[in-house]
Amino acid sequence: MANQQPDFAVAAQYVHQFGDQVALMGNTAIGGLAAVLEEIQRINQRFDRFEQSLKAELKAERVNNISRLQNSSVTHPDQHLAVLHSYVDNTPLPNFPATPADIPDLSNANLGVILRQLELSVAGDRLEKEGRLRVAIGLLERAV
């Protein structure tokens, strides 16, 4: 072995082949990493949407609690009601009754929309739905 001389051509060929193999490993890892990064981005987007939805729902809950408190002091059918907000996007509920006297005048469709926006059941007859809405609004049965 002491007299053997290195064959640089063979060594260069092996180094070249080794380099090719290392390059292939890098591509596999990078390709896999890119897929992982894309999935992480999708997960982040879902979390962002969830966070926005949760924030809107929490804000609507705060607004609605204040409105319910105000509405609990309503003692006459013609007194103004504080409007509740949708849990979906924290916007004022469309076609919300202005007074307790307006509740029976809501169309079935509008009553259903309001109940769904408050994430309440739409099951039952008209009186049950109106009663559910009255409770959600914060009206006291004995007063109005």
**pLDDT digits 0-9 by tens, 99-130:** 999 999 999 999 999 999 999 999 999 999 99
Question: Residue 109's domain spans which residues?
Answer: 8-137
Which residues 6+ apart lie within 8 Å of 5 measured at CB?
Answer: none
CB–CB of 134/71 below 8 Å? no
Residue 142 located in a structural domain? no
Convert the pLDDT of each residue in 13-22 to its tens digit. Answer: 877 787 777 7
Domain count, the chain: 1
DSSP 8-state code for residue 92: B
128 backbone dihedrals φ, ψ, rounded to 5°: -65, -40
pLDDT tens digits, one per residue of 90-101: 999 999 999 999
What residue type is assigned to position 54 of the chain? L
Predicted structure pTM score: 0.68
Spatial distance between the Cα atoms of 35 and 66, rounded to a whole number of angstroms: 47
Flag whether 2 is in a domain. no
Please indicate, yes or no, if residue 48 is contained in any of the structural domains: yes
